[in-house]
Amino acid sequence: MKHTLTPQRYLILLAVMLTASVGDTLLSHGMAQVGPVSLAHLGLLLAALRNLWVITGILCLLGFFASYLTALSWADLTFVLPSTAFGYVVVAFLAKYWQHETITVYRWVGILLIVCGVGFVANGPSLTLHEPQHPADGPAPVDQGATTGGTQ
Amino acid sequence: MIYASHIHAGPIETWSTILTVAATAVAGDVLTAGAMRRIGDLDRIRAKSGLGGAIRVVTSSPMFLLGVLSMAASFFSLLFTLSNVDLSLAAPASASLTFLGNAFAAKIFLKENVNRRRWMAALFVCAGVFLLSK
């Protein structure tokens, strides 16, 4: 049996990807406004908590953790991590068009490699189902990847 | 070997701190994933016991708490690393090593079926993350 995801679960993966990348970008934008924090001026970190961008960034990252845990409850770690790595690409585009950073050729190649990596897992099974310890429990549904143990 | 202009650490200290960041991050990811696998489908738990019930189930798992502790250790070791090693090396190197380490650890500890397709995904993402820092 191929273990496929429902549209709702694809939305959770999208939430993992977007909340992490948008959260990081919002934090970066906020901290740029707050200024450099050093060990001698740790009080600035408290000031950062009053910055609207930082607050929104933290809320986004809380959303990331909740959706990440939800995804891990029904999908393999080795499925969730590459699928949500597309967030790095989102960060690169946000950096280019919002923060006006320069994207070098190396970065474009990096983006291309990540897109390829995501493509490798996108159509594969999301969860490894293990056979039961006791035969009396009945036959276990085994996902396509676990059955073949190779590429599809 | 050129790392950056203002590095104070030697290669051994540099790579041992980066490895510490990656190892604690992998431990955090694997423990959290293992805890969530034991707990089961959160969507179903939330439908049955509500959001509060789901949060209670997750936060009462010792394995989950250990995972969060490892993630915190990874965060603080990254901060320590960044005080000695350039961000342009530390961040992508630790992120890439974490991707590869997760694939190995998920196969060994979580018994996940890491087939050729998933290995390729881990390697491509790992290389991609590294190039993003250039």
User: Quick check: helix, strand or coil at residue B104?
Assistant: helix
pLDDT at A21: 84
Q: Looking at the complex, report in whole angstroms how far the Cα of residue B102 sits from the nearest Cα belonging to chain A.
A: 7
**Alpha-carbon gap, residue A53 to A47, rounded angstroms:** 12
- Chain A contacts of B108, Cβ < 8 Å? none
**Alpha-carbon gap, residue B86 to B65, rounded angstroms:** 31
Domain count, chain B: 1
**Alpha-carbon gap, residue B97 to B99, rounded angstroms:** 5
User: Quick check: helix, strand or coil at residue B38?
Assistant: helix
Contact B38, A86 (CB under 8 A): no
**B113 contacts A146? CB cut-off 8 A:** yes
Is ipTM beyond 0.85? no
Is B56 an 8 Å CB contact of chain A?
no
pLDDT at A126: 78
B37 in any annotated domain:
yes
Per-residue pLDDT of chain B (134 residues; tens, 9 = 90+): 444 444 567 888 888 989 999 999 999 999 999 999 999 888 889 888 888 899 999 999 999 999 999 999 998 888 788 777 777 778 788 888 898 899 889 999 999 888 888 888 888 988 988 887 76
Assessment of whether the complete model's pTM goes beyond 0.80: no
Look up tokens 């948008």; give the residue.
A22
φ, ψ of residue B102 to 5 degrees: the values are -65, -40
Which residues constitute the domain of residue B15? 11-132
Q: What chain B residue is nearest to A8 in terms of C-alpha separation?
A: B43
pLDDT at A125: 76
pLDDT at B25: 95
